[in-house]
Structure 1
Amino acid sequence: MDEFPIASGPRTTGDTIQHELPRTRVLDLEEDRISRAKVDAALQENMSIKAALKKYPQAVIWSVLMTSATLMESYDYGLMGNFFGLPAFQKKYGDELPSGKFNVSAPTQTELKQVTKAGQIVGLLLAGYLCDRIGYRWTQTLALALIVPIILLQFMAPNVGALIAAQTLIGIPLGAFLTLSNVYASEVSPICLRPYLTTYTQICWTVGGFISTGILRGFVNNKTEWAYRIPFAVQWCWIPFIFVIMMGAPESPVWCVKKGKLDRARAALRRLSSKHEPDDDMENRLAYMQYTNEVELLEARSVSYLECFRGTNLRRTEIACAVYSIQPLCGFSLGNSSTYFLEQAGLNSASAFDVGLGGSGLALVCIFIAWPLLKWYGRRTLLLIGLVIIMISQIGIGALGIPKPSSATAWATGGFCYLFTIPYNITVGPLSFLLITDMPTSRLRPKTAVLARSAYIGTTVFNVILTNYQINATAWNWRGKSGFFWAGSCFLCLIWTYFRLPETRNRLATELDVMFEARIPARQFASTKVDAVSNGESYESEEVYNVEKM
């Protein structure tokens, strides 16, 4: 048996690797609380989905409701991506071509889409800071209040400059919704429900895109200014509903424990549990959260952004950032069949929007297919398989871009875009939301998720700028041949995943803490067995965590 603990330098004795823990670093938790933590860890590891739904029904409901705020970001993102294929928008904000048609130039497309990302990075960094101080609910409520007047700026924008300013500003509050609601879902849910409640974020993202594409499809033949103003105004409709949700939701009990608000954590756990849940079980759950918090305090007392780059947290931050970045780096701007790309491939505006709607509907179905797969297969395995299929679909898109555009090649390209959509929404899309909450310590989860989302935004900027120039008729005009470039990018993602991504399926937070501290190689995580909770004495003496290769 190989043995590892949480500690600082390794020492080797025969076949046993030990990390000594300084005697001055004592776990500040009573023996009774540690015993309760052990009981809860065993319960969580062996709980079935059915039992979890019965035991924590309110956690599921509040997680789903809080995640619905993701619709705000995905709707806005879908709007701007599809506006470039809307004739009325092209005429208002684009340039007239020699053929008499209007086209939004590649630089303008880039500015309109990327300034929002710049605003989001600012908003994300602020959200991570505020979340640690005022909690998830109030941080997102503040962001929601800021959005109301900014939508008015979008609605009234008289020219491209004003619209660019509005898109920059709206990115700041939008940065909080998807990231913090995803982290909230991971913290209120038991381990067996976490894959479903965190990947539900992908459902909300897809639904938001579907709604925006559907609304624009309804205005594709409308040549007036209302064709693009009404879609902006729709964003006001769901703000009151999201506000009520934010006001009524319980705060994350993990956040309450980090802040030392144990009574508030108990109240949150009561609201997240069944009304028949025994107080003793809830106290055990609270004890495990306390135990996790105390263990992680021994490694790092700070919850600053800098702490995410120190010690073993650096590896965890790298993985979270890289996993999230795989979404754009596999070429989703091209493969997700944007209406503008399909128009350049040879489809008319109406048909391009129809294909986009079909892709969104297919994506929604695929996420539900992903759920049973998450139960039976590891995250690492699914991601590797998904990247292989995505790479093949990008090669197919590239091959169809070689001949001159025609109706046949355009529809075939749409077919390969669907081939991209299926594995992307079964693997890469939902797994990213799950893995970025698996990787960090519980104390650094909000900050690490913010950094991962920022990395995603940075790589998305790279993806969108390149794609805009690759497919734009007034720029490089690569059309479908762009698929070859993104197939190569996807291959690099595949190599990184194989060597760097650990398997986290069915792992408790303390188990992952132990394995990262022990520096277990990524490919050995799945075959390593860990004691989730150690004895209290192991922090006062030089005992170790037990870690064995299965």
Structure 2
Amino acid sequence: MTDKHDDGIHVERADDGGTLSHLQDAALTDKALANGALEATVQEHSMGFLQALKTYRRAAFWSMLISASVIMEGYDVTLLGSFYGYPSFREKYGEFLNAESGFQISADWQTKFNCLGAFANIVGAVGNGWATARWGHRRVLMTSLVALTGFVFISFFAPNLQVLLLGQFLCGIPWGVFATTGPAYAAEVTPLAIRGYLTAYVNLCWCIGQFISAGVLKGLVSNTTEWSYRIPFAIQWIWPVPLFVAALLAPESPWYLVRTNQLEAAKRSLERLSEPDHELDYDATIAMMVHTNKLEIEERAGVTYWDAFRGTNRRRTEIACMAFLSQITSGGALCYSGSFFFLQTGISADAAYGISLGGTGIAFVGTIISWFYIHRFGRRRIWLVGFACLVMILWTIGFLALPVQTLKLAWAQSLLCIVWLGAYSMSVGPIVYTLVAEIGSTRLRTQTVVLARSTYYIGNIVCGGTIQPRLLSPGAWNAKGKTAFFWAALATLTFVWGYFRLFETKDRTFGELDVMFQKGVPARKSASYVVDNEEVYVAHEKEDK
């Protein structure tokens, strides 16, 4: 049987013919639908962390496997930025500047790589939002993995910067898919009690990729042959095969299946995501998904990008986009390009890459530490406290650059970058992934994540790709440590936005968030606002009466 989706998408499905078939045509005021949805919501709120982990450990397992694709993005995106200060890479692809600076990758070329790479990420992310609405997370992810395997050949064999730029641009398209698939899939397959952990795990995957990249570069920095930069490119071929197998075997998101009217398939997906001996009411869970989907359809929420800017979705999109952008405006382009920054402050190449490796290790540990309080404190509070710390660190780095630069001051600035990485990875880094994955409506979750991540990439083009290379490059503005002043000012403005606009999503089901946004709950009251469950599932029935 063929269904036609609300947005003109044709979806092949088997005739349900079971207990779920009546839900497809049920009105939002249908008592059976409302009661089932209410029962599932109460069940989600009553489930603690340990119980949810035991019941949905399969969901956690599949979520972690799919999110592992972000390891590739963390590894690959960090790799090229770290190569700008790499001796053998600069000799192969750089230009001789002067006796003091030696071979350098010019600021113009750094800008080209950063900007075109970010543009490719946007192409991949936007394409993912369009494709996932039609074919689901798994198929799009598998196609992207196959494409990346071929694109890596171009970077590996690149004889000059022009060919390398082409290879990195093409690789950037599937990286954009990976960055947006992980958070969306994790949010859709995990229950409320463990959703925050599994979406924050996406940031841990990013840190793992960076740690591997820094370790590989540190181990090869003394190698003067071409293999010191070719081996890091070749390592990218390790990931696609196991990740392809994982995506092939993983269950599809039940929310996607509900949106495309495949209710029996959604039920089978839920059965694969949970333990069969825990006697869950799958029909009630499907009813909750159907009810939430119909509630959003009633607000005219389709599955196109335009719908993300209509009605209450406009506010949700703003929060998601600004939250991801805060990872740029917090000074990430400065502290995450640490090895190049350390070299410009006067530290040796070996020491610079050693510090960079230590920094990625701290980022890894910091993300794990965040899991110990992510269930206790709200997303908004963690972001605000963490961002305030980042602002203070950036101002301090800037003021340390005002005196005559000495080696001791250079080390102080470099170590403060590591402190920044620790604070970032314990707060803003992981919590943004959680917040962005939760803030969008269920019908527009992937599109919301895509728009947010695309905003991040645009910010990276403007700040990290255009401004940052010129601030640091010896052949351009050569601001060195004073670069921190630019980021400190930008971070301060972002903090002000967060105080007034960042919304709390902790312990809220997707249906409850729909109601809160429809009621226009202010961000500063979002943590304490009380939602009556009957307000979510019976309100429409009362209105009809």
TM-score by length of 1: 0.92
Deviation per CA, 1:276-320, whole angstroms, max 9, x where unpaired? 131x52222122111111111111252111011111111110110
Contact persistence 2:179–2:453 (CA under 8 A) = no
2:289 is aligned with 1:294? no
> Matched residue of 1:215: which SS?
helix
Alignment correspondent of 1:529: 530
Q: Determine the C-alpha separation between the residues in 2 that align with 1:459 and 1:319.
A: 15
Distance 1:536 1:424, change over 3 A: closer
Alignment correspondent of 1:231: 232
Alignment correspondent of 1:246: 247
Which residue identity does 1:449 align to in structure 2?
V
Structure 1 runs of 4+ off > 6 angstroms?
A: none
Deviation per CA, 1:445-495, whole angstroms, max 9, x where unpaired? 011110001001011112212111111111101101111111111110110
Query: Could you tell me how far 1:26 is from its partner in structure 2?
Result: 8.5
Query: Could you tell me how far 1:522 is from its partner in structure 2?
Result: 1.1
Deviation per CA, 1:149-180, whole angstroms, max 9, x where unpaired? 11000001111111111111111111111211
- 1:24-173 equivalences under 5 Å are 27-28=27-28, 30-99=30-99, 101-173=102-174
Distance 1:495 1:301, change over 3 A: closer
Q: Determine the C-alpha separation between the residues in 2 that align with 1:301 and 1:528.
A: 24
Q: Determine the C-alpha separation between the residues in 2 that align with 1:47 and 1:541.
A: 29
Alignment correspondent of 1:3: none
2:434 is aligned with 1:428? no
> Matched residue of 1:373: which SS?
coil
Alignment correspondent of 1:13: none
Alignment correspondent of 2:188: 187
Contact persistence 1:81–1:338 (CA under 8 A) = no
Alignment correspondent of 1:5: none
- 1:369-408 equivalences under 5 Å are 369-408=369-408
> Matched residue of 1:529: which SS?
coil
Distance 1:367 1:358, change over 3 A: same
Which residue identity does 2:92 align to in structure 1?
K
Q: Determine the C-alpha separation between the residues in 2 that align with 1:98 and 1:535.
A: 68
Alignment correspondent of 1:21: none
Q: Determine the C-alpha separation between the residues in 2 that align with 1:131 and 1:140.
A: 9
Query: Could you tell me how far 1:361 is from its partner in structure 2?
Result: 0.5
> Matched residue of 1:402: which SS?
coil
Contact persistence 1:378–1:503 (CA under 8 A) = yes
Deviation per CA, 1:488-539, whole angstroms, max 9, x where unpaired? 1111011000111121111111111011001111111122111235586643
Distance 1:463 1:218, change over 3 A: same
Contact persistence 1:116–1:171 (CA under 8 A) = yes
Alignment correspondent of 1:309: 309
Alignment correspondent of 1:347: 347
Distance 1:88 1:376, change over 3 A: same
Q: Determine the C-alpha separation between the residues in 1 that align with 2:506 and 2:368.
A: 18
Distance 1:535 1:487, change over 3 A: closer
Query: Could you tell me how far 1:399 is from its partner in structure 2?
Result: 1.7
Q: In the comparison of the two structures, how many residue pairs are matched?
A: 519
Query: Could you tell me how far 1:97 is from its partner in structure 2?
Result: 2.4
Contact persistence 1:27–1:539 (CA under 8 A) = no
Q: Determine the C-alpha separation between the residues in 1 that align with 2:395 and 2:373.
A: 26
Which residue identity does 1:240 align to in structure 2?
V
Alignment correspondent of 1:209: 210
Q: Determine the C-alpha separation between the residues in 2 that align with 1:78 and 1:214.
A: 12
Q: Determine the C-alpha separation between the residues in 2 that align with 1:420 and 1:295.
A: 42
Alignment correspondent of 1:461: 461
Alignment correspondent of 1:19: none
Alignment correspondent of 1:338: 338
TM-score by length of 2: 0.93
> Matched residue of 2:530: which SS?
strand
Contact persistence 1:394–1:483 (CA under 8 A) = yes
- Tell me, which stretches of 5 or more residues in structure 2 are unaligned? 1-24
Fraction of identical pairs, as percent: 38
Greater shift in the superposed pair: 334-343 or 363-372: 334-343
Contact persistence 2:34–2:538 (CA under 8 A) = no
Greater shift in the superposed pair: 414-423 or 355-364: 414-423
Q: Determine the C-alpha separation between the residues in 2 that align with 1:320 and 1:535.
A: 23
Contact persistence 1:150–1:169 (CA under 8 A) = yes
Distance 1:71 1:535, change over 3 A: closer
Q: Determine the C-alpha separation between the residues in 2 that align with 1:457 and 1:192.
A: 31
> Matched residue of 2:192: which SS?
coil
Q: Determine the C-alpha separation between the residues in 2 that align with 1:497 and 1:149.
A: 41
> Matched residue of 2:199: which SS?
helix
2:511 is aligned with 1:510? yes
Q: Determine the C-alpha separation between the residues in 2 that align with 1:252 and 1:73.
A: 22
Q: Determine the C-alpha separation between the residues in 1 that align with 2:452 and 2:536.
A: 34
Distance 1:141 1:448, change over 3 A: same
Q: Determine the C-alpha separation between the residues in 2 that align with 1:123 and 1:245.
A: 21
Which residue identity does 1:486 align to in structure 2?
W
Deviation per CA, 1:70-94, whole angstroms, max 9, x where unpaired? 1111111111111111101011111
Contact persistence 2:301–2:443 (CA under 8 A) = no
Deviation per CA, 1:161-203, whole angstroms, max 9, x where unpaired? 1111111111111111121121000011111101100010111
